[in-house]
Amino acid sequence: MRTRSSSRILSAAVIVAGAVGLAIGGVSLATKAKADEALVHYDGNTRDYWEHPPGDWYMGDETAEQHGERPYPGQPTPTPGDELVKLVKENIKTQPGFHIEVWASGLDCVREMAWGGDGTLYAGCWTDHVFAITDDGSKRTAKVIIKGLRQPTGIGYYNGALYVTDIDKIYKYADIDKTRDSNPQGTVVYSDFPPYTSHGWKYMVPDPQMPGWFYIPVGPPCNVCLPPSGTAQYRHVNPEQGLSEVAALGQRNSVGGAVDPRTGQLWFSENARDWMGDGIPSDKLNHLAKYGQDFGYPYCHQGDLPDPKFNMGHKCSEFTPPALNLGAHMAPLGMKFYTGFGTESFPSQYHNNIFLAEHGGWNQRIHTGARVERIQVDADGTQVSEEPFAWGWIKDNKYWGRPNDIIISPKDGSMLVSDDQAGAIYRIWYDGK
């Protein structure tokens, strides 16, 4: 178990997914360039680069040390159900007393999940559609209910409506539980996000302190640059009213967060920059204790590592340090505080713990991540520690699965984990055996 200390881990970052037709978020293994190929370089500080990114925009800061690290193109095809059941049985390990099974399969590019009012599970997707998954007790049935959006990874449910993020807007699908089978039509209710596709995917974190509001990250359109205004931040958004405020600054690429039920404060994962080496900088878990905190991007990484190009005279002590450095290329994404909804499904020592899906990266020769982490933290944000909770999605240095979001079932307190590599959702439960 690792704990936070003044001697932080030096580790590498990951871009969760690509844009312009390349799904970094769904790759199975980095490919190799030929030794005599030139290094790729783009100027990430130009408006043309932000607005018209090249297909391999994420390669723009390639170094000789990491030359040749690149993701395979395309979104993986879902793993057939029988094969997936076998892979899970033979490879996935959990903490004692917990078990894992395939809950649903055949879900290409499945990402963030949200419960509807009638027990239906809605799930965003990396490409252009949204799923509804119903459960009759013996089997799950998945159906694409919304099509034609741009990277609708982030979704949220409130007061009977499904909210779905596009690159620069949020759509509202009213009465979705009643209309999902009849070609639901969305209405744009928020359109103040930047138009940039690179790091333009979103994640919606419900704010239980202010029902109807969501925390939503806005990433910069580059690996590392001086970010254009309106990016590299977390916003607090009320999509129904079209309102927003800036909650946090200096975050590079967050695709996951959760509000601590004990304090009402936001915690969020962050993927650090690429191309500084296989060992640095670390991805992070951040704690927003008050609005306006700056977490350092692009000037400082992992709390104590100045950027070699964009430090610009800043000291890392000027910025809010991470609550926990997570390690190289872990690619931390979706997360939840475990409450159990009163079911007491997990033992009491797991309540109010953070469960974090680590997607795994590509800008690294030996792959890491692809697991679910358990993170214990006091209500005041101190005494942070982590340990693997479910792991084994890497085999022979290849990702056969990549966890990316977590949600807790209100029915029985079990945990569901989405996987956009295998195209599946897993269920993890506890019986003590």
Residue 326, helix vs strand vs coil: strand
Q: What is the pTM of this model?
A: 0.92
Residues written for the chain: 433
pLDDT digits 0-9 by tens, 321-347:
999 999 988 999 999 999 987 776 999
| Cβ atoms of 292 and 249 closer than 8 Å | yes
Phi-psi region of 347 (alpha: psi -120 to 50; beta: other; left: phi over 0): beta
Q: Is the model's pLDDT at 125 over the cut of 50?
A: yes
Domain ranges of the chain: 2-430
pLDDT digits 0-9 by tens, 97-112:
999 999 999 999 999 9
Output the pLDDT for position 32: 54
Of 3.80.10.10, 2.120.10.30, 3.40.50.1860, 1.20.120.1200, the CATH number of 2-430 is 2.120.10.30
Q: Is the model's pLDDT at 284 over the cut of 80?
A: yes
Token look-up 């079209």 returns 242
Q: Is the model's pLDDT at 21 over the cut of 70?
A: no
Handedness of CA 80, 164, 429, 356 (dihedral sign): positive
Give 26's DSSP letter. Answer: G
- Across 177-200, b (16+ Cβ under 10 Å) vs e yields beebeeebebeebbeebbebbbbb
The DSSP annotation for 93-145 comes to EESTTEEEEEEEE--TTEEEEEE-TTSPEEEEESSS-EEEEEE-SS-EEEEEE
Q: What is the mean pLDDT of residues 211-220?
A: 98
Output the pLDDT for position 352: 95
